[in-house]
Amino acid sequence: MRHAPAPLPAKIPEILLVDDNRQGLIARKSLLQELGYNISTATSGDEALELFAKQNFDVVVTDYKMPRMDGIELIRRVRSAQPGARIILLSGFVEPLGLTEESTGADVVIVKSAGEVGQLTRSVKRMLSQPPARKPAGSAKGGTATRGREDAAIR
């Protein structure tokens, strides 16, 4: 009697978390690991780009306000390298700065607040259940298609 081969285990989604606030990074990492995701962390945009160049991530979650490279610049560079990347932007400044999906190039913008945990987990689950949208590299505020091509090489 022949047995069907055992199904291959499902790939565990890989998520890159980027935030210069280590406490926030640790809290989000623990939350997402409890949901069964593999998590890599970076405390700067430059460190995130190094990890992004070495590994494929299913979702990138980045803070907006970071030294040297803010979240919008990181999104622009990630989109230059991989236009279909799934990206979530977190910020405590969403309302005052008018941060939206259109102005930042992110797929989802979440306000850092008491409701952040629920929004983040729902957004990650929803993004992983859908095929990636192909956003142009210059879709972030201040970015242009020309600038995206010039910066196509991640530094």
Helix ranges (H only) for 6-81 are: 22-34, 45-54, 71-81
The proportion of the chain whose per-residue pLDDT surpasses 70, expressed as a percent, equals 79
| Residue 155, C-beta contacts closer than 8 angstroms, at least 6 positions apart | 46, 49, 77
> Higher model confidence: residue 6 or residue 72?
72
- CATH code: domain of residue 122: 3.40.50.2300
Which pLDDT does position 130 carry in this prediction?
87
- Collapsing DSSP states into helix, strand and coil, what is residue 69? coil
**Strands, sheet with 14-18, edge to edge from the N-terminal-most edge strand:** 38-42, 14-18, 59-63, 87-91, 108-111
Domain contains 139 = yes
Q: Which among 66, 85, 94, 69 is positioned nearest to 139, based on CA atoms?
A: 85
What's the pLDDT at 90?
A: 97
Q: Count up the domains in the chain and report the number.
A: 1
Among candidate residues 74, 144, 30, the one with its CA nearest the CA of residue 90: 74
Closest C-alpha among 79, 16, 83 to residue 52: 16
Q: Does residue 101 carry a pLDDT above 60?
A: yes
- Domain-embedded: residue 9: no
Q: How far is CA 73 from CA 12, 104, 105, in A?
A: 28, 9, 10
Residue 8 has pLDDT above 60, yes or no: no
Residue 147: the pLDDT is: 29
- What integer pLDDT is reported at residue 143 of this predicted model? 39
Q: What is the pLDDT of residue 104?
A: 96
Expressed as residue numbers, the domain containing 140 is: 14-150
